[in-house]
Structure 1
Amino acid sequence: MAQCTTQATIGDSEFDRDTAVTRRASGIYDAELSEGWTIIRAVNGGYLLAMLGRALGETLPHPDPFTITAHYLTASRPGPAEIRTETVRTGRTMSTGQASLVQRDETGAEVERIRVTAHYGDLAALPDDIRTSAKPPAIPPYEHCLGPRNGQNAAAPAASPFPGSSAITDRLDIRLDPATAGWAVGQPSGRGEMRAWFGLADGRDADPLSLLLAVDALPPTAFELGHVGWVPTVELTTHVRHRPAPGPLRVSITTRNMAGGFLEEDAEVWDSEDRLVAQSRQLARALLI
């Protein structure tokens, strides 16, 4: 399976630098939202969730997000931000916290961008018992899938640039299943499905924080329903089920219903050992650009 030739370690990658937070006071962190993770004009919601997840990980006594729910209130912009965290409850195996991210608008007024509630625990302490009917998505080999440029894989056709061509595509290594990329050539399937291999462009292996990005990094399923426009997230709940093994992830996202200008997206993330490592559901809006 083809992979990135460079390899960034956890803690030394662009993702880690760009999601870093600096503690200013108890429960208050300074952050800088990087322009490199924007889609059209706004900062990607999964990137924001990972940044708030990092701040909560520094606030709570447990290391890993088990479930985290975000409500996106206003579109975030690149630049300085403040994250405020609060410990709601601590227990022996789980702790609960909440966080919000605020920025200043053009007039200097404070604007809350996103509010999060989360349960944290220790993924390494979970029992090994697994009883499931879930199966990994059937995706063609990496080298037979489509990317914005496809790097050195000149044999495979490249998908068209994502609508509103975005800086985030340079930070990700996404290879779409051709069966879910009809939108890229003006032939959407109408099935509301998106499947892809997923990784970070610098080769950094996945961890629980980058899973929060993975569930919200693929092109919207609305594209395969024939909608080409901005699809901002309204609410996103993510369950992290297992610490992922090294190697590329497989992400599958489906939508069953787009109505009234809103759609749901259900995502599953599988690691290189065929384990379901994360799940999510989000509500998003389908807007024209």
Structure 2
Amino acid sequence: MTSKITEVLALTEVERGGPDSITLRAHIDETFTIGPKVHGGSLQMVVAKAARTALTALTPAPGPDGDTKDGDTKAADAAAAMIPVAIASDYLTAPDAADVDLAISVRKRGRTVTVLQVDAVQQGRTVVSSSVTMARPDSGTPHHSGPNVLDGTPAEPPSTGISLDGSPIAEINHLGAAVDLVLDAETFPMVRGETGEPLVRGWIRPKGLDPDEYFAVLVCDISPPVVFNLAMFGWAPTVQLTTYVRRHPAPGWLRFAATSTEVGPGMFEEDHLVVDSTGTVVAQSRQLALIPAGR
């Protein structure tokens, strides 16, 4: 039995448009939906993987022995070390659980940074348009690590956590077949009929796999909207989501925290911080979203 994460990241080539463009196809099933529509972080994860796949496909390969071009070799080596480190996505309309074509073009090639445009298309219409920046991930000890909202959070979920599996949340969030997700009960007061600060913490890991840089992208949009803690319930449509992947995560549970500084009358920002089992920051995001309708 294959992992749902592996399945959704399985891409097929549809066509080439020359040396700098390619179209890939993914199938996103109902597992990756919130309500009837595709979860924004899941689609951004697919976009990130599509960018990596396209960069490999569109990078000239070194020639055979005796006919190797030095420039091609260096370009191929540089590209092979790159991962998506920044994904900036504009959500033009809510995608459906179905096939999605990823129309990808290279906007800049470089040995340090490469930038690609990735448009997710359904039924001839662009639903999400993204710019993806590729570069080498960080590794080793950071020069500085400041205090953050996950300080003191245990590396694994406690028995008091709220698991997605078997909970009423699973009626709306259908990712349970793909992930183990546990919310911190202390930062999710709505389950007690209470309100609180716009802060949600939790733990997550993919079912049957170790987390990787693509999964970290999904995690950067995994929290229920933090405005739920302010008794603002309903669909909070994403306007724009930018995710930064800092490094490859260590095996084990990832911890996340979602926060908001300003909840306006019409929009709010939601920031995700993701650390791995060692407590090292692996990803961050900022999302601009609309206040649920009717609030």
| Normalised-by-shorter TM-score class | 0.7 to 0.9
Q: CA deviation at 1:192?
A: 0.2
Distance 1:102 1:68 in 2: 17
RMSD: 2.1
Identify which range, 69-78 or 161-170, moves more after superposition.
Answer: 161-170
2:204 to 198, 212, 231: 198
- CA deviation map 1:14-69 (0-9, x unaligned): 10211221112221112212111110111000110011111100122353111110
In the TM superposition, 1:130-279 aligns within 5 A as: 130-135=143-148, 136-139=150-153, 142-148=157-163, 161-162=168-169, 165-189=172-196, 191-200=197-206, 202-279=207-284
Distance 2:11 2:106 in 1: 17
Identity over aligned pairs, percent = 29
Structure 2 unaligned residues grouped into runs of 5+: 17-21, 56-78
Q: CA deviation at 1:134?
A: 3.5
Q: CA deviation at 1:268?
A: 0.6
1:117 to 131, 135, 140: 131
Q: CA deviation at 1:147?
A: 2.5
* TM-score normalised by length of structure 2: 0.83
Q: Check 1:25–1:252 CA distance in 2 against 1; reply closer, same or farther (3 A cut).
A: same
Number of positions where the alignment pairs a residue of Structure 1 with one of Structure 2: 263
Aligned 8 A contact 2:164 2:170 in 1: no
Structure 1 unaligned residues grouped into runs of 5+: 1-7, 105-109, 152-159
Give the secondary-structure state (helix, strand or coil) at the position aligned to 1:123: coil
Q: Check 1:33–1:94 CA distance in 2 against 1; reply closer, same or farther (3 A cut).
A: same
Residue 5 (structure 1) aligns with: none
Residue 14 (structure 1) aligns with: 4
2:46 to 51, 59, 78: 51
Aligned 8 A contact 2:164 2:180 in 1: no
Aligned 8 A contact 2:101 2:121 in 1: yes
Aligned 8 A contact 1:137 1:252 in 2: no
- CA deviation map 1:78-133 (0-9, x unaligned): 112211001111111221111001111xxxxx221100001112226x56442121
* TM-score normalised by length of structure 1: 0.84
